[in-house]
Structure 1
Amino acid sequence: MATTTESHTAPPAPTGAAARPPRRARRPRRHGHALPYLLLLPATAVLALVLGYPLVRLVIISFQDYGLRALFTGVITWAGLANYQAVWQDPQLLPVLARTGAFCAALVAGTLVIGLLVALMMARLGPRMRTAVTLCLITSWAMPPVAATLVWQWLFQPVYGVVNWLLTQTGLFGDLTQHDWTTSALSAFAIVWLLVVWQSVPFVALTLYAGLSQIPRSYYEAAAIDGAGAWTVFRVITLPFLRPILVLVTILSVIWDFNIFTQIWILTQGGPGGGTTTLGIWSFTKAFSGNSFGQGAAIAVVSVLLLLVLTLYYVRRLVRSGEDL
């Protein structure tokens, strides 16, 4: 039986236009790649004008001999690093730095702990009670700092203060009707701490509650089936999900609490005996009470640099926590 083999011959090579290699498809040009930057340009210009110019002006004043003579004569001399040297050699520098850091840490810790507890409570409440708590938080958060501080001052006022009257009625601490809370640095910081934490907790609580609402319920159901306790569920499920949000609110709290000025100035004005003087208060008194605007500006620049270092540290942690998720 004869077998036939088929011969496979290659097709003839194309000639002319058919011999050219196919052209690569051109990618469409992105005509709108600059549109997002154009849309951000107005906001960037406003921020540069509102925030950038005062900051640049502050740095310039910190290198000048700017005092009463400069205000009246208009003649400003260049001082170089003299203002920074005076601030560095001032004996108040280290106590003020330590006081500012300790007070900022206490404020941030209290705000985060209480805000987290309020957020966990809101997650367990029903819709009506949760709405009521949310309205109370927003109302306290929306209150202007000056108005809130004046109300706080009235609450802790000697003779007519509501807090003194209530504590006296309990009989636990004796007669506190005449007690002045601003005569001691510790008690003065305590009432300022209560005021600032009361104003800061709403933002932290609402932000953390928003993060809690995004955790899938299936994780908690699986933990309940495995018999995990409340602390284990919080440590293994809730806390890892909230870590990026906790870092974010920590950054914002550090920025806000490090620069606190209004509450301290209205309640104590840095007293008694400078016991509640932070960097913000020290910069203000140096510039306007001591008539040394150059040194006041130098203190403010140092505050900005310290805050920048802290912010960069927490931003790096925020980026790393986002990459780990």
Structure 2
Amino acid sequence: MRAVQTQSQSRKNLLTKTHVVGWSFIALAVFMIFAFYFYPMLQALLMSFQSGAGTNLTFVGLDNYKRLFTDPTFIATVTNTFIYLIVQVPVMIILALFISVLLNDPKLKFKGFFRTAIFLPCVTSLVAYSVIFKYLFSNNGLINTMLMKVALIGEPIQWLTDPFWAKMTIIIAITWRWTGYNMIFYLSALQNIDNSIYEAAKIDGASAFQQFFRITVPMLRPIILFTSITSTIGTLQLFDEVVNITKGGPGNATMSLSQYIYNLSFKYTPDFGYAATVSYAIVILIVIFSIIQFKVAGDRNG
């Protein structure tokens, strides 16, 4: 009996020691995550219920959240961000999927070069590429010059000063930069699809079009869902391109939610409480869009 108790106690001691050793390895990481992620998020949430200039904040309850619905600048930035979202994200996802299918063709030569060339914009500096786009799309820039030389336009397009064209410039810029990023995910997933599935479909007389929509797209659905959600989150947090290409102009025609948060914090009279409220508005929008995407493209049996 004592031997059994001794053995049981030894197992408990070993298990306790294992837990202590395991926690000692992750304790620092857990502390850092809490200190630099969860604590600031909690502080921002508490700050969203306060208002005042600079650090002289006072508790105002839900006044900041009520202010969102009557703030014309916030409404304009939400509208701009939605336009980027509903136009750019589908275009980028479809383009990345199409390119990945082309580059997955075993008969294609120089695949490594093309994959690298398309992915390369993802590793460029956000500021550097934004400045380049600003000069490319200026009135006397390369884009207008080329379009006028081939007689597609008679006078320069106001890419940066017209509200519509300024939005199009931002959409083109972020599509150029992030299409290759999503393409890599699709390429990785395509290479994990057994080629015998396509061979069986060919034997059954399925065309390339049918194979794409009946085999490729359904089998890539989890990756499409993932890239859609990450692209949505990135677009709702759009900042660098808008600030460096159009500075949010003309007027507020291209200003994004993240730029508005920056302006509230550092450009206008500092109102950190309301800036935190706008930041949590982004969080709420991300949650809403993520749930919608899970419902539309997620696991229907889940």
Give the TM-score, by structure 2 length. Answer: 0.85
Q: Structure 1 residues 152, 56: CA separation in 2 closer, same or farther (over 3 Å shift)?
A: same
1:61 corresponds to: 47
Distance in 2 between the 1:92 and 1:314 partners? 27
2:247 corresponds to: 269
The one-letter amino acid of 1:132's match is F
* 3-state SS of paired residue (1:124): coil
Question: CA deviation digits over 1:15-56, x for unaligned, max 9?
Answer: xxxxxxxxxxx9x88945787766554444333333223322
1:165 corresponds to: 145
* Aligned residue among 190, 198, 202 for 2:168: 190
1:91 corresponds to: 72
Note if contact 2:225-2:298 (Cα within 8 Å) is conserved in structure 1: no
Distance in 1 between the 2:39 and 2:295 partners? 27
Give the TM-score, by structure 1 length. Answer: 0.80
2:125 corresponds to: 144
Could you tell me how far 1:93 is from its partner in structure 2?
4.0
Could you tell me how far 1:100 is from its partner in structure 2?
1.8
Distance in 1 between the 2:146 and 2:241 partners? 23
Distance in 2 between the 1:308 and 1:243 partners? 20
Could you tell me how far 1:127 is from its partner in structure 2?
6.7
Question: CA deviation digits over 1:69-93, x for unaligned, max 9?
Answer: x4xxxx4322222222222322344
Instruction: Count residues with an aligned counterpart.
Output: 289
Question: CA deviation digits over 1:216-268, x for unaligned, max 9?
Answer: 11111111111111111112211111111111111111111111011011111
Distance in 2 between the 1:262 and 1:203 partners? 17
After TM superposition, the structure 1 stretch with the greater mean CA deviation from structure 2, 215-224 or 82-91, is 82-91
Note if contact 2:76-2:253 (Cα within 8 Å) is conserved in structure 1: no
1:22 corresponds to: none
The one-letter amino acid of 2:131's match is L
After TM superposition, the structure 1 stretch with the greater mean CA deviation from structure 2, 302-311 or 47-56, is 47-56
The one-letter amino acid of 2:77's match is V
1:49 corresponds to: 35
* Aligned residue among 273, 291, 304 for 2:283: 304
2:200 corresponds to: 222
Q: Structure 1 residues 76, 282: CA separation in 2 closer, same or farther (over 3 Å shift)?
A: closer
2:213 corresponds to: 235
After TM superposition, the structure 1 stretch with the greater mean CA deviation from structure 2, 285-294 or 191-200, is 285-294
Distance in 1 between the 2:29 and 2:291 partners? 23
Distance in 1 between the 2:230 and 2:175 partners? 13
Larger radius of gyration: 1
2:116 corresponds to: 135
Note if contact 2:65-2:277 (Cα within 8 Å) is conserved in structure 1: yes
Note if contact 1:140-1:199 (Cα within 8 Å) is conserved in structure 2: yes
Note if contact 1:62-1:296 (Cα within 8 Å) is conserved in structure 2: yes
Note if contact 2:73-2:252 (Cα within 8 Å) is conserved in structure 1: no
- Percent same amino acid at aligned positions? 23
Note if contact 1:287-1:297 (Cα within 8 Å) is conserved in structure 2: no
Structure 1 alignment gaps of length 5 or more: 1-25
1:201 corresponds to: 179
Note if contact 2:81-2:257 (Cα within 8 Å) is conserved in structure 1: yes
